[in-house]
Chains A and B, each alone.
Chain A
Amino acid sequence: MLTNHILSLSIWVPILAGVIVLALGNDHRVALTRWLAAFGAIAGLLVTVPLYTQFNFAEAGFQFQEAAYWIPAFQIFYHLGADGISVPLILLTSFTTLICIIASWQVITKNIAQYMACFLMMSGLMIGVFSALDSILYYVFWEAMLIPMFLVIGIWGGPNRVYATVKFFLYTLLGSLLMLVAFIYLFHLTGSFNIAKYHNVVLPFNVQLCIFMAFFMAFAVKIPMWPVHTWLPDAHVEAPTAGSIVLAAVMLKLGGYSFLRFAMPIAPDATHYLAGFMIALSLIAILYIALVALVQKDMKKLIAYSSISHMGFVTLGFFLFSQLGLEGAIVQMISHGFISAAMFLCVGVLYDRMHSRQIADYGGVANTMPVFSAFVVLFAMANSGLPGTSGFVGEFMVILAAVKYDFWVAFIAATTLIFGASYTLWMVKRVYYGSVANDKVAALKDLSRREFVLLAVLAAFTIGIGVYPQVITQMTQATSARFLNHMSISKLPAAGI
């Protein structure tokens, strides 16, 4: 019986676990609190596994659907479902949550129960965003998810945390309120909040343009695209390590996913019309932000800019309208989830020991932390797109698709292989190589067993997807073919009507 409610379970098990942690745990019962949270995260991961094992790879539409009346007064349903695009992201979310809980095991010492509960609830809410098929249900999850993240950055963050977290909240809120207006407008037209219905509604061109822009405001902030990216470096720098991991690994993907779910299929003609503009923004993100990353002095800030640059590939892949580009973008989203999580985790490992993220404070870490440095070099290579790692696959697919679209687009996108390598490897050189810079570095201890396991698991995924990317593409294939087919049909009203 429960097999019909896999998505509900994926959403509510972590949220319920969060409530339990909040109720039973506190700072006097540290061990209990941590273990409860870990069990909650493991349970949350286990209930999402059937999404993969029972997934029908040939089916392009929504699977695991559940629907029940929620607010009949406005035809709002509790309607869930997942397709080839959302299932990998849901799995990524529940996996990342477990990583976060373990990564914070000893780092967080005050308000542990609240901290763990925030991550567990955030996990459920984000899975809700990925699986909602009713736009108001989606909106509720989308907004509710901001609350725990706001608290995580604000309570456990760095010195400038209040500025960063308020900026994060207001940026996202402003964008998403316009999306709400778009939903209400579509409700006004169709009498329903069903997303599938929105996909088939006929819209005049200027209406499509307005709706696309409203969605663009919401999702571009989230991804984030240049020029509305400025909240991200602030949020990353101030957030605790696990907060950065969730932010980079999952939250940015919500924006990418939502483009595929809302903005593009609801307004296909506007999407085609604005494709050039979107590609231009993506290229600016890829090239300009990579250059910005080059000059960063703070490691976390550098990785934050690198995230924006990599997400540029995701949006570039979307707006090329080819199977290769779209699948490459999705692979890039998943791969970036693992790599950015690993990169932030590595900075966290150093920060826990040295309480500094400035590149200048380090030097020659490889001498005192050899095992750790090996991992770092692996992830750095993955981040700069070395073949054999997952970072290569997505970027390469998108660049190939771009060559077919326009040579110069591909050319600019391909510069990332140089700049990405430059900023990543230059950071590695300054922090890890050379002679030991100071006494603090000399006193560093190598990875603990817990840290080793975390990084090893992430490394396995990074290489696994790099060697065998079909594990993702076979899920997305049918869905992306259907998506492109949908995008190729105009939704403008027939002439004369």
Chain B
Amino acid sequence: MDTINTDLFISMPEITMLSMAMFILIIDLFLNKNNRMIIYGLAQMTLFAAAYLVLSLNAFAIDVAYNGMFISDPISDVLKLATLIGASIMLVYTRHYMQLRQMFSGEYYALFLFAIVGMMVMISGYNLITIYVGLELLSLCVYALVALDRDNARATEAAMKYFVLGALASGMLLYGMSMIYGVTGSLDIGTIAERLKDAFEQNPDFIHNPVLILGLVFIVSGLAFKFGAVPFHMWVPDVYQGSPTAITMLIGSIPKFAGFAMALRLLVFGLAYLVGDWQDMLLVMAVMSIAIGNITAIAQTNLKRMLAYSTISHIGFLLLGLMSGSLNGFASSMFYVSAYVLMSLAGFGMILLLSRKGHEAEQLDDLKGLNKRSPWTAFLMLITMFSMAGVPPTVGFYAKFTVLQAALHVGFIWVVVFAVLMAAIGAFYYLRVIKLMYFDEPVDTALIDAPLDMKMILSLNALALLVVGLMPQGLLELCGVAIATSLPHLL
């Protein structure tokens, strides 16, 4: 009885979210169309309650629940909190957009919350099956959300593409997991790590076991697909462009927290002994993602598509930190992912802000002359773009800086040189956005019409990029401490 109580206690944030999502789904049936704001309020309250629970229940301690299926450690606390805050910001940004497009419905909020539960399970999963179930919960909700605007042919196409390729990736991941299970005889990440350690100590050649390596290859491929790293990136631009912007934002921002956690759990917690193998794989993907992402983005005329390629290059940097295989590297990746989410929320938030009924501000030309239409909005976008380009004094600079110093510490100096050259190429397309906003005459002269709360949160969001850039110590320390306390066995 006691253990069950503790288990419930540890997973309380997830349980709360899940119950509320179902409650919202039911209550939506009894509400008429004009009272949907209640649903919105409930969803926001749910996110806050879950965030409160994450903070209050044994925060920053390591607890394991459900016979080792589920873990709550500092990494998961920080990432869950960040996910929930990001989700709450996202709800503020998307409300108006969804209202104007007849998508302001109970399903949106229920699916949204289910997707968040999926991310939280991925973050806390400590068993191959738990992680997989979390991933599927997230993916299925997102597939449905992409097609939420069901009369939109492009969105439907994007959903189909995303579903088919996503299912393939899930299959690969699962296949890899089954091989790992075959070699180690366990699905539990802790046990896998122990058995690999024992086997390695008896026979150092064990890590060259072909089934083990093949399993790793499939797992890394599955991860890469979910991240959108080259060469598994083909779906990213199409899905980003085809989805309603509100859903693009959901795909392109906070799930990266969950993806980062999943990579950490599988590769570092579970397969740390194979570091020599996954380091090479991640290195190749990181270098290719940085190169292809930055170079291809130059050719884009669609802002969402450009941000998709920009995401690919950011994922490359994220993998560069993970690839380092040191605590310093993991902490830098965690900092990078936090900075990235903050930037992408601001970037997509800006597209939502400029969109209006019957008009999606998704072409680069829609930004022309923004400084004349609204200097403040243009300034916020300026910060966001410079941050994405990694120009100080914005947070994007420190994100790149930490990752590069981690990679250099383990001796990859030429990779670092390559990455900075690519970053300079990448700066070009961010500069082009600024050029359009500041140097060109406006084409679209409509007034920017958005609710006050959205404008305020968006302003805070973009200013945070500058403020955290000037004072990065807090976030750096948080990531460093979370990694160091969750991974003591690597110290």
Residue numbers in A under 8 Å from B401 (CB-CB)? 136, 180, 184
B408 near A170 with CB under 8 A, answer no
CB distance from B419 to the nearest CB of A (A): 9
Q: Report the nearest B residue to A72, measured CB to CB.
A: B473
Starting from the known contacts A146-B391, A154-B439, A178-B420, 13 additional A-B residue pairs (CB-CB under 8 Å) come to A73-B477, A114-B375, A143-B391, A143-B397, A150-B434, A154-B435, A155-B438, A162-B435, A166-B428, A173-B424, A181-B417, A184-B416, A185-B413
In the complex, which residue of chain A has the Cβ closest to the Cβ of B406?
A184
A144 touches B473 (CB 8 A): no
A154 proximity list for chain B (CB < 8 A): 434-435, 438-439
Chain B residue nearest to A171 (CB atoms) is B424
B105 located at the interface, meaning its Cβ lies under 8 Å from any Cβ of chain A in the complex: no
Residue A74 at the chain B interface, CB threshold 8 Å: yes
- Contact status of A144 and B391, CB under 8 A, knowing A151-B438, A169-B431: yes
Q: Taking A114-B375, A177-B421, A180-B401 as contacts, is the C-beta distance between A166 and B431 under 8 angstroms? A: yes
Q: Which residues of A contact B (CB under 8 A)?
A: 70-74, 111, 114, 136, 139-140, 143-144, 146-147, 150-151, 154-155, 161-162, 165-166, 169-170, 173-174, 177-178, 180-181, 184-185, 187-188
Contact: B408 with A177, CB < 8 Å?
Answer: no
Residue from A71, A144, A170, A178 within 8 A of B428 (CB atoms):
A170
Contact B427 A170 (CB under 8 A): yes
Q: Does B392 interact with chain A (Cβ within 8 Å)?
A: yes
Chain B 330-343 near chain A by CB (<8 Å), digits 1 or 0: 00000000000000
Chain A residues positioned under 8 Å from B473 (CB to CB): 70-73
The residue from B397, B427, B477 contacting A169, defined by CB atoms under 8 A apart: B427
Whether, in the assembled complex, B190 has its beta carbon less than 8 Å from a beta carbon of chain A, the answer is no
Question: Which residues does chain B contribute within 8 Å of A140, judged by CB atoms?
Answer: 392-393, 397
Could you say which of B408, B472, B476 contacts A181, with CB atoms under 8 Å apart? B408
Q: B386 at the A/B interface (Cβ < 8 Å)?
A: yes
Whether B438 contacts A177 by the Cβ 8 Å rule is no
Most A CB contacts (10 A, CB to CB) among B397, B424, B427 go to: B424
CB nearest to B413 among chain A residues: A185
Q: Which residues of A are found within 8 Å of B150, using beta-carbon distances?
A: none
**A180 and B393 within 8 A (CB):** no
Q: Chain A: interface secondary structure?
A: helix
Say whether B33 faces chain A, with CB atoms less than 8 Å apart: no
Q: In this assembly, does B101 line the interface, its C-beta being within 8 Å of a C-beta of chain A?
A: no
Contact with A along B422-451 (1 / 0, CB 8 A): 011001100110110011000000000000
A70-B470 Cα distance, complex, nearest whole Å: 9
* Pairwise interchain contact B439-A174, C-beta atoms closer than 8 A: no
Min C-beta distance of A95 to chain B, whole Å: 25
Contact with A along B447-485 (1 / 0, CB 8 A): 000000000000000000000000011001100100000
Residues A73 and B431 in contact in the complex (CB < 8 Å), given A146-B391, A177-B424, A184-B408: no
Q: CB of B363 within 8 A of chain A? A: no
CA distance A174 to B420 in the complex (A): 8
B405, CB-defined interface residue at 8 Å:
yes
Given A177-B421, A178-B420: A139 touches B404 (CB 8 Å cut-off): no
Say yes or no: is B208 at the interface (Cβ < 8 Å to chain A): no
Could you say which residues of chain B place their CB within 8 Å of the CB of A139?
A: 392
11 A–B contacts from the bound complex (CB under 8 Å): A70-B473, A71-B473, A71-B476, A144-B391, A150-B431, A165-B435, A177-B421, A177-B424, A178-B417, A185-B413, A188-B409
How many angstroms from the CA of A188 to the CA of B401 in the assembled complex? 13
| Contact flags B372-412 to A (C-beta < 8 A → 1, else 0) | 00010000000000100001110001000110110011000
How far apart sit A146 and B439, CA to CA, in the bound complex (Å)?
Answer: 16
Complex contacts, A161 vs chain B, CB 8 Å: 439
Query: How many angstroms from the CA of A154 to the CA of B431 in the assembled complex?
Result: 11
Type the 1/0 row for B277-303, where 1 means its CB is closer than 8 Å to any CB of A: 000000000000000000000000000
With both chains docked as a complex, state the minimum distance between the C-beta of B380 and any C-beta of chain A, in angstroms.
14
Contact call B421/A174, Cβ cutoff below 8 A:
yes
A147 to B375, CA, bound (A): 16
Q: Are B420 and A180 in contact (CB under 8 A)?
A: yes
Cβ contact within 8 Å between B424 and A174: yes
Residues of B within 8 A of A181 (CB): 404, 408, 413, 416-417, 420
A449 to chain B, nearest CB (A): 33
Smallest CB separation, A158 vs chain B (Å): 12
Q: Is the CB of A188 within 8 A of B405?
A: yes
Complex CA gap A181/B404 in Å reads 8
**Chain A residue at smallest Cβ distance from B423:** A177
Q: Chain A nearest CB: distance from B410 CB in Å?
A: 10
Contacts A140-B393, A166-B435, A174-B421 known; A147 to B427 CB distance under 8 Å? no
Contact B472 A71 (CB under 8 A): yes
Contact (Cβ within 8 A) A170 B391: no
Distance (Å) between the CB of B423 and the closest chain A CB?
Answer: 6
Query: Given A73-B477, A178-B417, A184 and B404 touching (CB < 8 A)?
Result: yes
Residues of B within 8 A of A143 (CB): 391-392, 397
List of 10 A-B pairs having minimum Cβ-Cβ separation, nearest first: A177-B420, A140-B392, A73-B476, A174-B424, A154-B439, A184-B405, A143-B392, A71-B473, A140-B393, A184-B408
Q: How far is the CA of A180 from the CA of B413 in the complex (A)?
A: 12
CB distance from B145 to the nearest CB of A (A): 37
Q: How far is the CA of A72 from the CA of B477 in the complex (A)?
A: 9
A contact residues around B397 at 8 Å (CB): 140, 143
Complex CA gap A140/B395 in Å reads 11
Docked Cα-Cα span, A306 to B286, in Å, equals: 45
Bound Cα distance A73, B477 (Å): 7
Give Cα A39 to B490, complex, Å.
Answer: 57
The residue on B at minimum CB distance from A71 is: B473
Smallest CB–CB gap between A76 and chain B, Å? 9
Mark each residue of chain B from 314 to 330: 1 if its CB lies under 8 Å from any CB of chain A, else 0.
00000000000000000
Output the least CB separation between A180 and chain B (Å): 7
Nearest chain A residue, comparing its CB with the CB of B473: A71
A73 adjacent to B391 (CB under 8 Å): no
| A187–B392 CB distance below 8 A | no
Give chain B nearest CB distance to A93 CB in angstroms.
19
Which residues of A lie under 8 Å from residue B371 when comparing CB positions?
Answer: 111, 155
Q: CB-CB < 8 A to B409: which residues of A?
A: 188
The 8 Å CB contact of B405, one of A74, A114, A151, A173, is: A74
Which residues on B sit within 8 Å (CB–CB) of A114?
A: 375
- CB-CB under 8 A from A185, the residues of chain B are 408, 413
B392 nearest CB neighbor, chain A only: A140
Give the docked Cα–Cα distance between A73 and B328 (Å): 11
Query: How many Å lie between the Cα of A479 and that of B244 in the bound state?
Result: 62
Given the complex of chains A and B, what is the CA–CA distance between A453 and B256 in angstroms? Answer: 59
Docked complex Cα distance between A185 and B428 (Å): 26
Q: Which residue of B427, B438, B480 is within 8 Å of A173 (Cβ)?
A: B427
Kindly state the separation between the CA atoms of A73 and B482 in the bound complex, as whole angstroms: 14
A170–B420 CB distance below 8 A = no
* Contact partners of A144 in chain B: CB under 8 A: 391-393
Q: How far is the CB of B480 from chain A (nearest CB, A)?
A: 6
Q: 0/1 per residue, B62-91, Cβ < 8 Å to A?
A: 000000000000000000000000000000
